[in-house]
Structure 1
Amino acid sequence: MAEASTEEEAIVLIDIKEVVKTKVTRDKREGVGVCVEFENDLFDEKGNKIGTCVGTGVLSANGEGEDERFQLFSATDHFEDGSVLWTGPAPHLPAEPTKEHAVQAVGTSGRYLGKKGTRHFQLVDRPDGETTILRSSLFLRG
């Protein structure tokens, strides 16, 4: 994980391996309105655990087709030196699984406090129905 930070410069965390564990929390039905909770472990490129991410996702839709579905996420990354809140939509079943997605992020404590930017994530693997492996990054300024 490459990292850079000063008071005036950006905070950049890249090449984060994110192991997502999800569970359906409202009911077992499929479709719009299903809510999932997730707890993710965040690792640097050497395999060291650097933090956790806790959040929710709600399945929504802009229309009737499967490609019209998306998930609205809200989560907080917790690192030893502070935390970052991120929220936004991403495709439910991406047509291009390797495409990177970005959502808005804001620092809520520690060295991240008050900084704003984006949280990026990209599907790497889905070994089972409750586990997803992502490659993530975080870019903040302020």
Structure 2
Amino acid sequence: MSGTHTDVPSVVAADLPRPVPASEHDACPVSEVLRRIGDKWTVLVIVLLGKRKHRFNELHRSIEGLSQRMLTRTLRSLERDGLVAREVYPTIPPSVEYGLTPLGESLLTPLSALADWAVAHADEMSAARGRAG
């Protein structure tokens, strides 16, 4: 790392073995998080829950094209990873709300940075795809 690149993020500055072993890539925490948030619905669910808690059906109605089954799977995975908390209220019938945990809330800042970058560079990426295809 040269002295002129002191603002390079730590993940980029890290020395990687060459070739990168598949087992190391699979076990990398960065790869694991990208797999977790990289599916079709997770980021959208996290962003909605970042605004406030939602009941299941309210969340389901808020995302066009998301099946109940896939929402259930997404919420369970997020809950298993400690990003979402499920709260059951003792009403008749029982009501359930989903909200972000402190860990889930801490993900909003890097997600926002990634979203800002994507919006800022969308035209450039689209133009590059047009040149490549």
Q: Same fold (TM over 0.5)?
A: no
User: Over alpha carbons, which structure has the higher Rg?
Assistant: 2
Higher-helix-fraction structure: 2
Higher RCO structure (Cα 8 Å, ≥6 apart): 1
